[in-house]
Structure 1
Amino acid sequence: MSLLAVFLFLSSFFMNPNVSAHALSASFTQIEFNPSETKMTFSLDVLSVIESMGGDTDNNGVLNEKELEALHRRLEEWIDDCVIVEMNQKQQEGNLESLTLGKKGDKDVVTWTFHFPAFTHGQTISLNDGLYTQSTGGTNYVNLITSKHGSEVSQAVLQGKNRTWTILLTEQQVQQQADPTGNGGQSTPTSPSSTAPKAPGASLEESPSPSQPASQSTDTNSGRFSFFFLGMHHILTGYDHLLFLFALLLRKQTFKQYAAIISAFTVAHSITLTLAVLGWVSLPSRLVESVIALSICYVAVENIFRKDVRYRWILTFIFGLIHGLGFATVLQEMELPKSNLAFSLISFNVGIEVVQLLLVLLLFPLLKMLHQVHFSRQSVTYGSIAISLLGGFWLIERLFM
């Protein structure tokens, strides 16, 4: 029975058509409230655009200017239909200024730039993201939103079924649009309540929006969990991180050894996650993702051929430093403001650790049962072979495709 559980776990990776290092479709929305107009840019990774709309005529996995031009009308209509801006529950028509190719870190993106009329205080502005909501197979999609209004910056993460972001403009915020310092040219520190990341549906003011009864006002405290849930989502869709962790735990070890492995991985990836988000460490994403795949292969091969794995925590720490750079990618692309940086980073990391701990607690009794049967060694060997094959596939894909 334990052997069956192991192979079912592994087969889920092989049979999932969306398996990749980070099977994630990511969009980046930036909204700037100005006195004369409201500007919105919406960026989506090129791979997601190709998967949804086609247009990659030379089948090289990227779009060039000619291919983008051929898709222009369809792309405009697609986002017009799926990404809706409302003012007091009335849909607003934006003017598309440009549709361009660009970069978010190492990621190729398509960027739509829209202009809307200026909004004023007392108005409730909403963004409804309908991308992939009709997908029957589900998708790992997040929309990372940054809103700028005067000196204030707020952020939100839309994912899963939470696809609506709402902000209630106050009179003070509108005044700050004309005077970005909000204090007659004197710098004013941004309050924690206004700079904390906002959850989908959270407003910048603890009062119900005009479209909501008072009893249904949004709890602004829920915004504090946006990056916590993003961290959970990121590791749950990072199949390579999960498989690396599983490979480390697959061999029979003492509880002390298991604890040392988990601690080493946690400390290592927390270090490089922090350094990368702060901009102190930077490596090409292709290199990082390739080394992550290599780490899976190495541990799997070690499971097969090495008899003594007592000091595996050292290996875990070394590879964990690289995995931390992989975790950092999504936050680097979001360009977190300094006022939110520490809180967002800690929340994101805690989300990762919670999922990691829950998975270990789930796997530990299964592995204990596995190691009590007479064919446990064969199970570890066959499981490690399967892991090494998948890791090798990812390694080749990331190096040469």
Structure 2
Amino acid sequence: MPSGYFRWGWRLFFFLPFCVCAHNPDTSYCRITITGEEVQCSFTYDLNTLRLITRIDTNGDRAISQKELENATPAIEHFIRQYIYFDLNQREAEFGDLDPPVWPEDAGEDIPEADYGQRLITFTFHNPVLDLPEDVAITFDFFEELGGTHTILGAFIVNGREDEVIFTRFEPDYLYDTGYIMPLGEQIRQYFILGVKHIFLGYDHIAFLLVLMFVKRFVDLLKIITAFTVAHTITLALAVLKLVQISPQLVEVGIAVTIIYVAAENLWKRDPHHRWMLTFGFGLIHGFGFANVLRALGLPSAGLARSLVSFNLGVEAGQVVIVGALWPLLWLISRRSWAARFRLFVSGAILLFGVAWFIERVFSVRILPI
């Protein structure tokens, strides 16, 4: 009987990362800048998303060059004009002229397939106006093409004020009143939701939390989670405020290393002491990973601290839910005769994923089908 539980538990946790990744939606970005002279609409997508729109890698070398992106731009422009609706003063409008797409500065001549999910390309349209519009509306109708779980992190900017909006298939449109000031509570809610979504969709962060939780005492778990929270809060703030800048690729490699180390430690230590100290150091690295999300969205200059705190509270709320759901299960398993073997197998599986992520992020190769 115990061996049956063991096999079931092993299969569940081994395939958990695949399940999470299979439902990890692409995220794109939309920034609408409104003035009395023009309405500027910028749409930012990673290359994995753009590949759903049209074929870009025409020579099949599993890399995208700047020339290939240039050749694919008319099809991408057509897609945007067809599936994103734009209204000014409650009248249908057309997107204006399109700037050439912005190629990432540090990307080199070609972007390898392993980096498609990390490299962002921005398409900016300029729509001239004679006066500041009273309202601007935008509707996204591409969820059947890009996937029902696709999320758009949007921002409307007018007169130095920036209001954030999250678009999904359930909330695909928004009418923005340029004279309306979004209530404080709504701004806080938007960033809180963003933080919750990020921790739930960040499968590497979830894997890290899981291997951290193999401790015998609940008080040790509290120390670990507290250390992780304090640490990533520090670096999240430093990175978003641009006091410390680290390459996103280096951060992603560092996150993989933290997963590898803790998972490996679980293999040779039955009850690691002082893990909270180690977690604090590793949490500093994960904080930079959280900051990359906010940098891509672009935090408002007004209310920066408020948005930062709201996002971080969302991350903590998601973290509490994950730990609260997993700890009782792990505690029950720890009382079984096969608990040690379960710990070894789960840690070993996550160790393998950590090694795969490390290789992918260092050498820009694709190993996992995610």
What TM-score results when the alignment is normalised by the length of structure 1? 0.80
In 1, Cα distance between equivalents of 2:18 and 2:28: 27
Q: Give runs of ≥4 in structure 1 deviating > 6 Å.
A: none
Pick from 125, 145, 157: which aligns with 1:148? 157
Could you tell me whether the CA contact under 8 Å between 2:26 and 2:49 is conserved in 1? yes
Greater radius of gyration (CA)? 1
Q: Are 1:288 and 2:242 an aligned pair?
A: no
Give the structure, 1 or 2, with the largest relative contact order (CA under 8 Å, sep 6 or more): 2
Aligned to 2:86: 85
Deviations, residues 112-152 of structure 1 (Å, cap 9, x unaligned): 2222242757843211123334556x43x332323222243
Could you tell me whether the CA contact under 8 Å between 1:288 and 1:322 is conserved in 2? yes
Aligned to 1:234: 198
Could you tell me whether the CA contact under 8 Å between 1:2 and 1:367 is conserved in 2? no
User: Aligned letter for 2:68?
Assistant: E
Pick from 220, 233, 237: which aligns with 1:270? 233
What is the CA-CA distance between 1:73 and the residue it aligns to?
Answer: 2.2
What is the CA-CA distance between 1:257 and the residue it aligns to?
Answer: 0.5
In 1, Cα distance between equivalents of 2:61 and 2:288: 26
What is the CA-CA distance between 1:284 and the residue it aligns to?
Answer: 1.2
Deviations, residues 239-270 of structure 1 (Å, cap 9, x unaligned): 00000000111x24101111111111111111
Deviations, residues 161-217 of structure 1 (Å, cap 9, x unaligned): 2222221233xxxxxxxxxxxxxxxxxxxxxxxxxxxxxxxxx258xxxxxxxxxxx
Pick from 92, 104, 121: which aligns with 1:110? 121
Q: Are 1:98 and 2:99 an aligned pair?
A: yes
SS in 2 for 1:50: helix
Could you tell me whether the CA contact under 8 Å between 2:13 and 2:346 is conserved in 1? no
* CA pair 32-71 structure 1, distance change in 2 beyond 3 A: same
Q: Are 1:124 and 2:144 an aligned pair?
A: no
CA RMSD of aligned residues (A): 2.6
SS in 1 for 2:216: coil
* CA pair 292-228 structure 1, distance change in 2 beyond 3 A: same
Deviations, residues 277-328 of structure 1 (Å, cap 9, x unaligned): 0111111111111111111111111111123412111111111110111011
SS in 2 for 1:102: coil
SS in 1 for 2:162: strand
Q: Are 1:13 and 2:23 an aligned pair?
A: no
Aligned to 2:208: 244
In 1, Cα distance between equivalents of 2:169 and 2:106: 24
SS in 1 for 2:12: helix
The answer for unaligned runs of 5 or more in structure 2 is 108-117, 365-370
Aligned to 2:175: 166
SS in 2 for 1:31: strand
Aligned to 1:50: 51
In 2, Cα distance between equivalents of 1:2 and 1:252: 20
In 1, Cα distance between equivalents of 2:210 and 2:297: 29
In 2, Cα distance between equivalents of 1:295 and 1:8: 23
In 1, Cα distance between equivalents of 2:344 and 2:331: 16
Could you tell me whether the CA contact under 8 Å between 1:142 and 1:157 is conserved in 2? yes
* CA pair 2-52 structure 1, distance change in 2 beyond 3 A: farther
SS in 2 for 1:49: helix
Percent identity of the aligned residues?
A: 32
Aligned to 1:356: 319
User: Aligned letter for 2:64?
Assistant: L
Could you tell me whether the CA contact under 8 Å between 1:264 and 1:313 is conserved in 2? yes
Pick from 325, 329, 350: which aligns with 2:292? 329
Could you tell me whether the CA contact under 8 Å between 1:38 and 1:119 is conserved in 2? no
SS in 2 for 1:162: coil
Aligned to 2:278: 315
Alignment of 1:338-377 (within 5 A): 338-377=301-340
In 1, Cα distance between equivalents of 2:21 and 2:220: 34
What is the CA-CA distance between 1:356 and the residue it aligns to?
Answer: 0.5
Could you tell me whether the CA contact under 8 Å between 2:215 and 2:221 is conserved in 1? no
Q: Which 10-residue stretch deviates more, 254-263 or 89-98?
A: 89-98
What is the CA-CA distance between 1:11 and the residue it aligns to?
Answer: 1.0
In 2, Cα distance between equivalents of 1:154 and 1:14: 35
Q: Are 1:76 and 2:80 an aligned pair?
A: no
In 2, Cα distance between equivalents of 1:289 and 1:74: 32
SS in 2 for 1:128: strand
What is the CA-CA distance between 1:2 and the residue it aligns to?
Answer: 6.0
* CA pair 55-383 structure 1, distance change in 2 beyond 3 A: same
In 2, Cα distance between equivalents of 1:284 and 1:62: 21
* CA pair 247-27 structure 1, distance change in 2 beyond 3 A: same
Deviations, residues 20-54 of structure 1 (Å, cap 9, x unaligned): xxx55333322222223322222222232124422
Q: Which 10-residue stretch deviates more, 96-105 or 303-312?
A: 96-105
Aligned to 1:179: none
What is the CA-CA distance between 1:88 and the residue it aligns to?
Answer: 4.8
User: Aligned letter for 2:44?
Assistant: S
The answer for unaligned runs of 5 or more in structure 1 is 171-203, 207-218
